[in-house]
Amino acid sequence: MRYEVIFSATADADFDSILHHIAADNPSRAISFVDELRKRAVDFLSIMPRGGTAVGNHRYMAAGNYVVVYLVDEDAGVVTVAMVTEGHRNWRAMFDGE
């Protein structure tokens, strides 16, 4: 079964931030990088939604220097990406105790 992967408004804003950050140094690479990161998340999560590591009620997958945090709805067959951020940030604190 393939899962549908959707991106929350927060995740979309995260992609925009990543794009603008990369564009400051390398405008020609910014769009392709974000497209590749998004595609990598969809390709993985659509076939292996439980493949990431659990953090509270969420799960995450590493994608290079980035972390994709998501929720899985088994009944609906949907994975919702909640956040995309650089792995060195203290993103886990947002999900402690869930």
Q: What is the CA radius of gyration of the chain?
A: 13
d(CA 34, CA 17): 10
> Is 71 a residue whose pLDDT tops 90?
yes
d(CA 66, CA 89): 10
Task: Say which CATH number the domain at 87 has.
Answer: 3.30.2310.20
| Full domain range(s) for residue 81 | 4-94
Total domain count for the chain?
1
Handedness of CA 7, 12, 13, 14 (dihedral sign): positive
pLDDT of residue 82: 96
73-95, pLDDT tens digit by residue? 999 999 999 999 998 888 888 76
d(CA 43, CA 49): 10
pLDDT of residue 96: 58
3-62, pLDDT tens digit by residue? 999 999 999 999 999 999 999 999 989 999 999 999 999 999 999 999 999 998 899 999
